[in-house]
Amino acid sequence: MTPNVADILIEALPYIRYFSGMTLVVKYGGNAMVDEQLKEDFARDITLMKFIGLHPVVVHGGGPQINKVLERMGISPRFVRGMRFTDQETMDVVEMVLGGKVNKSIVAQINRQGGKSVGLTGKDGGLLQAEKLQIMHQPDENKPPEILDPGLVGRVTSVNTELISSLSAQGFIPVIAPVGVGAAGETFNINADLVASRVAGSLKSGRLIYLTDVDGLMDARGNLVTSVDAPTVTQMIREGTISGGMIPKLEYALDALENGVEKVQIINGTKRHALLLELFTDQGIGTQVTAQAGTEK
Ligand code: ADP
Ligand code: MG
């Protein structure tokens, strides 16, 4: 049965009222920007959010797009616990692809939909200050953790929230590429999930939404986990049920909650209009990440 269009709009009203004026950080994963239709839908959803009074801030990835260029150059991508190993040559490609092609294509798409979007990398206005990231890896809790070196991979030390807030307040939609700048002006590749988490935490945003290429977190049997807390995440990483890119996503989701973000969700960005359905309808989708069981709102 197709619901009446008016009913759908009425159903959205309480949500629109609730979200009005709220800052929301949306992490747009590289795997969720594969086809033109999805990219256009995303741009439309973000533009619509802005026009009805929300303040979306987009942080994007671009893993598959980076891999394509690296492959053309004969470089095989390497990953350390879900993080891209980044030597100088890879860093150059990451900066060109993320800050150039991917960032500008998202900006152009939003502007085509009538939104006013501004693309930034972490270098613009000192948006993302960074330092080298050390990755702690402890597969066995009875052994001391190993420290893994992912190369020119950074962690965010500070976010210029004033730049983002003033753009948002002026009606712009900031679109951020996850490239950071070190104290000596060096360039760092930063995992986009981490950037989204830190931007959301610094802005004390009401929502952090990760748009990825799966329905959410899956358990060992492949079933969707609708809500997950910190102890369960630790356990699932240890067992190997959570691997690859899902590791940083969940760890940084938990950090965001600790830094004052109200609610973090992981949803499937390869499903058309996933954002709108999640925000403005009664159907909850994907996985909600909570600090402790029972604390979800
Ligand atoms: P994104 O572009 O969204 O950051 P990633 O590839 O980095 O995408 O992370 C999402 C991927 O994590 C999924 O496509 C899946 O292959 C992988 N993954 C690993 N463990 C899980 C899990 N338990 N549940 C869901 N996805 C998982
Ligand atoms: Mg990822």
- What pLDDT digit, counting tens, does each position of 145-199 carry? 888 888 999 999 999 999 999 999 999 999 999 999 999 999 999 999 999 999 9
Q: What is the pLDDT of residues 220-265, one digit of tens each?
A: 999 999 999 999 999 999 999 999 889 999 999 999 999 999 999 9
Residue-wise DSSP of 188-216: EE--HHHHHHHHHHHHT-SEEEEEESSSS
Is the pLDDT confidence value at 296 over 70?
no
> How far does residue 89's CA lie from ligand 1's centre (Å)?
26
Residue entry with tokens 């501004």: 118
Is the pLDDT confidence value at 22 over 60?
yes
Q: Residue 211: left if φ>0, alpha if ψ -120 to 50, beta else—which one?
A: beta
Report d(CA 229, CA 268) in Å as an integer.
Answer: 19
Contact 215, 31 (CB under 8 A): no
> How far does residue 239's CA lie from ligand 2's centre (Å)?
20
Mean pLDDT of the chain: 93
Best mutation site among 246, 264, 271 for ligand 1, i.e. most ligand atoms within 8 A of its Cβ?
Answer: 246
Report which ligand 1 atom has the smallest distance to the Cα of 241.
Answer: 23
Looking at ligand 1, which residue's alpha carbon is closest to its atom 6?
245
What pLDDT does 83 receive? Answer: 81
Share of the chain above pLDDT 90, in %: 80
> How far does residue 214's CA lie from ligand 1's centre (Å)?
7
Give strand pairing partners of 146.
137
Report d(CA 116, CA 120) in Å as an integer.
Answer: 13
| Planar angle of CA 62, 63, 66, nearest 5 degrees | 85
Maximum distance among all Cα pairs of the chain, rounded to whole angstroms: 61
Q: Is 102 in the pocket of ligand 1 (CB under 6 A)?
A: no
Is the pLDDT confidence value at 209 over 80?
yes
Is the pLDDT confidence value at 297 over 50?
no
Q: Is 245 in the pocket of ligand 1 (CB under 6 A)?
A: yes
